[in-house]
Amino acid sequence: MSDSPDGVRSYTIRLELVDRPGELLRALAPIADNGGNLLSIFHERGNVTPRGQIPVEVDLEATPEQFDAIVDGLREAEITVIQAGAERYSEEVTVILVGHLVDTDLSNTLSTIQGSTGASVQALSLSAPEGTEAESSARLGLATHSGETDTVLADIREIAAEKGLRVIEPLTGGDAE
């Protein structure tokens, strides 16, 4: 990032967008509304994330205050922000959800996890050997901010309980000697 005398800096924001017309324009509105200056947009239309969304990288210039308002505006608009400036996910955790995942709307479950836990769903593997009418399991690879794994796991337990799902959590703590 480069600093200028007037406080304007360069930032990169990584987003995931739903694949429907107008989503890129909707994601750019908080940037324009908060005084950001677009430098470049890399819209990976041919790629899809594990959540089935389109990855987008936006480079822009803004003051730190404008940048904070831009990121807040994106989140308020329910745009999935994967990385904003120096904010990076630095821990990874894998959990397994078991239950009637299809009947309880797996897409909604993933959106709820992403929107309310502070984690990013990086990988998803669904297993439904007896079909979607029976119980199934989903392996979720999550990225979290440093030191927030316990909080994320507690939030996932709550989300799973509301949907009648079971959570198989990773073993944490303890030192291997």
What is the residue type of 54? Answer: I
Same fold, 9-84 and 91-168: yes
- Whether the CB-CB separation of 172 and 114 falls below 8 Å is answered with no
Residue 162 sits at the vertex; the CA angle it makes with 158 and 166, to the nearest 5 degrees, is: 70
9-84 to CATH, choices 3.30.70.260, 3.50.50.60, 3.40.50.620, 3.40.50.150: 3.30.70.260
CATH match for 91-168 among 3.30.70.2690, 3.40.50.720, 2.40.240.20, 2.30.33.40: 3.30.70.2690
Helix (H, G, I), strand (E, B) or coil at 20: coil
Measured CA angle at 91 (ends 88, 92), to 5 deg: 120
Contact 129, 112 (CB under 8 A): no
Predicted pLDDT at 172: 56
Q: What is the mean pLDDT of the chain?
A: 84
For residue 106, the model assigns a pLDDT of 85
Domain boundaries, the chain: 9-84, 91-168
> Which residues partner with 93 through β-bridges?
142
Beta bridge partners of 38: 60
Q: What is the pLDDT of residue 174?
A: 46
Residues of the chain with pLDDT under 50: 1-2, 87, 173-177
By residue count, the chain amounts to 177
Rounded alpha-carbon distances, angstroms, from residue 170 to 4, 17, 91: 45, 29, 13
Half-sphere exposure of 68 (CA within 13 A, CB side): 3
